[in-house]
Amino acid sequence: MIREYLEKLRVPGFRNPKPVVAVLRLSGVIGQIGNPIRQGLTAVDLMRSIERAFSLPKLKAVALQVNSPGGSPVQSSLIFKRIRAMAEEKEIPVFAFAEDVAASGGYMLACAADEIYADESSVVGSIGVISSGFGFVELLEKLGVERRVHTEGKNKSMLDPFQKENQQDVKRLKELQGDIYTTFTNIVKSRRGDKLKKPYSKLFTGEFWTGRKSLELGLIDGIGELTSVMQERYGERVKFRPVSEPKSWLKQKFTMWLPQGPNVGSWAGELISAAEERALWGRFGL
């Protein structure tokens, strides 16, 4: 009865409701970040947003706005898997749009999409694994600080930045990186398939390219930005619905002003975290 009544009244949009595209922004370094002000991308924090994005009424597609230099391989994989699981469950296509950079773990996130787009000048790729750090051995000596570490298990203090680098530790690290690298490259192969234009030995070196070159290599499907591509696909009447998880400003401020003791390890950890985050963006000229 209600349907017939609305049809008679010719309610605008009743017969042909506007198609909806959920917009999920994936911006920043992937993983936990030491400073509470800088929020990294994690699977736990994004879980509700991902589920909401795929649950909107009249949904036609989910668009990912990716702007990330990478970070944690585990969090990258977990976010990737969650997006793919929801896409397959809901049978909803996913599109990724690279902004300044979709590199390393950021490119893995983009691979969760069925189609990937970028700007001509976007930085795309860096398919590989990197581990970086600092050594503070001489600094501690100059400061007159003595490092005390007690472990059970001879490898428990592996790659301690306050001790001299051990070649056995480096060897074990390379083995771990090899496993992670294989997982990453397998994801790219399975998602991009025959679209990849060059031998894997050229694409999987950790090198990165502009959006235009990435198109030639098959790493992306086209040059374009979210609004125009989605309007071309679903019509000019398409409605964009940004989906994001509200952040607690009060919690951030409260955490920032909590009293902190003079802990050298904590200070050094914050310094390393900030430097590594900046280095991730800096690798791509950002």
Query: What is the pLDDT confidence band of residue 281, given thresholds at 50, 70 and 90?
Result: low
Q: Which residues contact 245 (CB under 8 A, 6 or more apart)?
A: 45, 46, 48, 49
What is the percentage of the chain residues whose pLDDT exceeds 90?
51
14 vs 232, residue with greater confidence:
232
Q: For residue range 4-28, what is the model confidence (pLDDT) as tens digits?
A: 554 455 545 456 689 999 999 999 9
One-letter identity of residue 250? L
Degrees (nearest 5) of the Cα angle 278, 279, 283? 120
Q: For residue range 236-249, what is the model confidence (pLDDT) as tens digits?
A: 999 999 998 665 55
Please, which residues bridge with residue 69 across strands?
Answer: none
Q: What is the reported pLDDT for 172?
A: 67
Rounded-to-integer distance, Cα 121 and Cα 132, Å: 27
Q: Which residues contact 190 (CB under 8 A, 6 or more apart)?
A: none
Rounded-to-integer distance, Cα 165 and Cα 3, Å: 73
pLDDT reading at 52 higher than 90: yes
- Of 180, 185, 221, 181, the C-alpha closest to 200 is 185
16 vs 215, residue with greater confidence:
215
Q: Return the sign of the alpha-carbon dihedral for residues 54, 56, 61, 66.
A: negative
Q: Please, are residues 26 and 67 in contact by the beta-carbon 8 Å criterion? A: yes
Q: What is the reported pLDDT for 93?
A: 98
Q: What is the reported pLDDT for 150?
A: 59
Query: What is the pLDDT confidence band of residue 197, given thresholds at 50, 70 and 90?
Result: confident
Q: What is the reported pLDDT for 179?
A: 82
Average pLDDT over residues 35-52: 84
Rounded-to-integer distance, Cα 229 and Cα 235, Å: 10
Q: What is the reported pLDDT for 60?
A: 97
Query: What is the pLDDT confidence band of residue 62, given thresholds at 50, 70 and 90?
Result: very high
Packing angle between helix 73-90 and helix 167-192, nearest 10 degrees? 20
240 vs 271, residue with greater confidence:
240
Domains and CATH numbers, the chain: 13-126+193-282 (3.90.226.10)
Query: What is the pLDDT confidence band of residue 258, given thresholds at 50, 70 and 90?
Result: very low
